[in-house]
Amino acid sequence: MSMWKVTCRKLTLTFIVTIIINLFTLSICQDLTRCNNNANFSINSPYQRNLNDALSSLTADTSIRYGFYNQSLGQNPDQVNVIGLCRGDVEPDDCRSCLNNSITTIRERCPNQKSATIWFEYCMLRYSNVTLLRNLDTTVGEFLINPNNASNMEQFNQRLDQLLDQLRDDASTGGSLRKYASNSTNGPTFITIYGIMQCTPDLSENQCYNCLDAAIRQIPNCCQGKRGARVLFPSCNLRYEDNKFFNDTVVIASPAPTPPSSSSSGNSSNTTIIVVIAVVASVVSLVILVVVLVCVFKRRKGNQKQQRSPPENLVYEEGDMDEISTADSLQYSFGIIRMATNDFSENNKLGQGGFGLVYKGKLQNGQDIAVKRLSRDSGQGEQEFKNEVLLLARLQHRNLVRLLGFSLEGSERLLMYEFVENSSLDQFIFDPRKRGNLDWDRRYKIIGGIARGLLYLHEDSRLKIIHRDLKASNVLLDAQMNPKIADFGMARLFQQEETQGNTSRIVGTYGYMAPEYAMHGQFSVKSDVFSFGVLILEIITGQKNHTFQNGGVIEDLLSHAWRSWRDGTVASLIDPTLCGSSIRDTIRCVHIGLLCVQEDVNDRPTMASVVLMLSSVSLTLPIPSEPAFFVRSTTNPEKPLFEEYTSSTSDLSSQVKSR
């Protein structure tokens, strides 16, 4: 009993600490990356060499003090163009080190893309095979918002618009070395609105004006009424806040960087009045401040006792231009979803997932949805649940099932997803007749899609999500038979996710589980890689989980795959309906699958390498050694999720065959 309490406390504490760390990281790491996936270079290509050279020499010229760097190296078609731009108030040394950081980060996040853009708080960097200088680019946009609403929105917007218009004019006329402007204006209720705008200085005045104008026009779509926002284009950006976030001194020796301290009407006869107003205003704001502080403090104390509610004012949210940004816009009433699913009728039931029943539904606007009715209380408070859902909803990738919304009423927790037409992968690959619909090209694309979805979860999304239950029935197929991973991030909804750790609570499905996870509860991105390896082998063989039917003999899929590999009889593994397809590609996939199921975690590739291996046939693969064999002797390999195996870990270890 008391042990439970202690554990509970510990968990709660970890939870709070992690949330706070998360929030903190979100607010200070305001960086965003856009990798352009339309064109890639291959390893050791001339393009890569040019890129590395261009990046490393970008900031070499230390005489540049105006914060704009450009570099072009190589000849078409391998020419690389790079530009780096620092915010106008950043000192040259800080500028160079910001750009150095951005170079390191962008190469990690966009390892093989020919063009990419990264925005940091103090600088931005772009590279591409096309000429960048003097070319206006507003094709991709990103934004970051402070999710808090401005009070007195109408007046706020009016003042903001005036400020932004003025900044646009000032920045675009800035000259050929710097197109940057900062200023402030008085907003409603004693606040001051601060803003900056900047273009890359190579643009013409006209181009800069148009770019900033486009950025301003985004505000109603992304950031209406928010107290702070950044709109980021490759060629220009803007930012406003209700606190001072920039330095007045613009680094370059340009005419009189004015102290922008709020409003100043310089009429001497007004001065006394202004002083009086100012004094009254300061006293009033002081009183308000004290009151607010007391309130906040009291509420904190109350909250700690009951429900931990993370501080929200510092959170920055990021997104594409048309993205939802608050939990409210995602929340649906229980009634609406009940109606959409015909009161969760038996006819609408799509199946039983690991976390509850799934129903098909239709919203009143005609949109098809899939609704998951969560089976068990997650033990999370409402606010945490909302936060988690919001984070998951922001994970958007072609190969992930999109979370559209949620409902939370009493103990009912529903998740609403896009409806994916062609059910799940297991319905195809394990069905002797339907299997024929999936030729090798299709299967190869499915494997690649799953790999990219998983890579996004592991690396490209800010959250670093470990799926922990990847399997054929969690891969859905859309109308064009593109794979979409479902049920990702569920672990976050039920317990705080960590990037790596030990857990006594094992979730997952036997047959797909990495041995270190099944036995010791140790999970990491590499345990997902293991499940992915099993999945590849299943897709190629068309055989279910770990039981491989070879004539009359039943043995587990992994050991059979390994033996065929070792004996050079891989062709016998392959699903007979695939005959006539490229044997070489298929064997290469088996090879990759075997690498993913290596017993030693360090021998398994990351998903980034897997994606690379799948896309470049010329890449030499390491030789796999004997994989981990994990066989569960009891009859039901499809164990339900969230069983607690703490007490039986020793039991499990004994089921691991080691040969």
Applying CB under 6 A, the residues found at the interface with ligand NAG are 37-40, 56, 59, 68, 70, 76-77, 89-91, 93-94, 96-97, 100, 112, 114, 122, 129-130, 133, 147-149, 166, 170, 183, 202, 225, 247, 258, 260, 326, 328, 421-422, 437, 452, 479, 501-502, 520, 522, 544-545, 547, 611, 615, 637-638
Query: How far is the CA of 319 from the CAs of 69, 388, 482, in angstroms?
Result: 27, 16, 24
Nearer to ligand NAG, 328 or 651 (CB): 328
Query: What backbone phi and psi angles, to 5 degrees, belong to 574?
Result: -70, 140
Least Å distance, CB 90 to ligand NAG, is 5
Helix (H) or strand (E) holding 70: strand 68-73
Least Å distance, CB 9 to ligand NAG, is 18
Q: Are 469 and 517 in contact (CB under 8 A)?
A: no
* β partners of residue 182: 196
Least Å distance, CB 264 to ligand NAG, is 8
Three-state DSSP state, 188: coil
Give the Cα separation of 591 and 574 in Å (integer).
13
CB atoms within 10 A of CB 46: 14
Residue closest to 450 by CA, chosen among 429, 432, 425, 433: 425
Least Å distance, CB 568 to ligand NAG, is 26
Least Å distance, CB 454 to ligand NAG, is 12
Q: Which of 31, 242, 469, 575 is catalytic?
A: 469
Known catalytic residue at 469: yes
Helix (H) or strand (E) holding 179: strand 179-186
Least Å distance, CB 21 to ligand NAG, is 16
Least Å distance, CB 141 to ligand NAG, is 20
How far is Cα of residue 610 from the mean position of the Cα atoms in its chain?
19
Least Å distance, CB 343 to ligand NAG, is 25
Three-state DSSP state, 443: helix
Nearer to ligand NAG, 130 or 277 (CB): 130
Least Å distance, CB 172 to ligand NAG, is 13
Query: How far is the CA of 7 from the CAs of 2, 4, 307, 385, in angstroms?
Result: 9, 5, 17, 20
Length of the chain as a residue count: 659
Nearer to ligand NAG, 248 or 409 (CB): 248
Q: Are 512 and 473 in contact (CB under 8 A)?
A: no
* Amino acid at residue number 355: F
Three-state DSSP state, 216: helix
Residue with token string 């406390």: 9
* DSSP-derived secondary structure for 324-391: --SGGGGB--HHHHHHHTTTT-GGGEEEEETTEEEEEEE-TTS-EEEEEEE-S--S--HHHHHHHHHH
Spatial neighbors of 612 by CB under 8 A, at least 6 apart, are 43, 111, 112, 619
Nearer to ligand NAG, 64 or 357 (CB): 64
Read off the DSSP letter of residue 492: H
Give the Cα separation of 617 and 615 in Å (integer).
6
Nearer to ligand NAG, 186 or 303 (CB): 186
Give the Cα separation of 390 and 327 in Å (integer).
6
Burial class (CB in 10 A: 0-12, 13-18, 19+), 335: exposed
Least Å distance, CB 154 to ligand NAG, is 11
Nearer to ligand NAG, 174 or 624 (CB): 174
No. of helices (H) and no. of strands (E), the chain: 17, 22
Q: What are the contacts of 342-350 at 24+ separation with CB within 8 A?
A: 344/373, 350/423
Q: Are 212 and 197 in contact (CB under 8 A)?
A: yes
Nearer to ligand NAG, 414 or 611 (CB): 611
Residues marked as catalytic:
469
